[in-house]
Amino acid sequence: MMADMRSSVPVDGLKRGARRFLASCVLLCLFAPVALLADGGLWRTAAPAPTERSEVAVAALDNKIYVIGGFKRFGSTALVEEYDPTSDAWTRRASLPEAVHHAAAAAVGGRIYVIGGLRTVLWMPTDRVFEYDPGKDAWTERAHMPTPRGGLAVSVVEGKIYAIGGRTRGEDLAVNEVYDPDSDAWETRSPMPTARDHLAASAVGGKVYAVGGRLLSYSKNLGVNEVYDPVTGSWGAASPLPTPRSGIAASALDGKVYVFGGESTLGTFDEVEVYDPGSGSWSAVTPMPTARHGLGSAVVEGSIYVMGGGTEPGGSASAVNEVFTP
Give the N- to C-terminal CA distance of the chain in Å, as an integer: 30
pLDDT at 96: 98
pTM for the full predicted model? 0.88
Work out the angle at residue 76's Cα, subtended by the Cα atoms of residues 102 and 178, and round it to the nearest 5 degrees: 25
Backbone angles phi, psi at 18, to 5 degrees: -65, -40
Identify which of 199, 216, 292 has the alpha carbon closest to the alpha carbon of residue 250. 199
DSSP-assigned states of every residue in 218-238: EEEE---EEEEETTTTEEEE-
β partners of residue 90: 83
Identify which of 114, 121, 117 has the alpha carbon closest to the alpha carbon of residue 152. 117
| pLDDT tens for each residue of the chain, 326 residues long | 333 333 333 333 433 344 333 333 433 333 222 222 335 999 999 999 999 999 999 999 999 999 999 999 878 999 999 999 999 999 999 999 999 999 999 999 999 999 999 998 778 999 999 999 999 999 999 999 999 999 999 999 999 999 999 999 889 999 999 999 999 999 999 999 999 999 999 999 999 999 999 999 999 999 999 999 999 999 999 999 999 999 999 999 999 999 999 999 999 999 999 999 999 999 999 999 999 999 999 999 999 999 999 999 988 999 999 999 99
- Three-state SS at 211: strand
Q: Which CATH architecture has domain 11-325?
A: 6 Propeller (2.120)
* Residue 258 CA: distances (Å) to CA of 91, 184, 185, 273, 319: 27, 30, 30, 6, 21
Handedness of CA 230, 231, 234, 238 (dihedral sign): negative
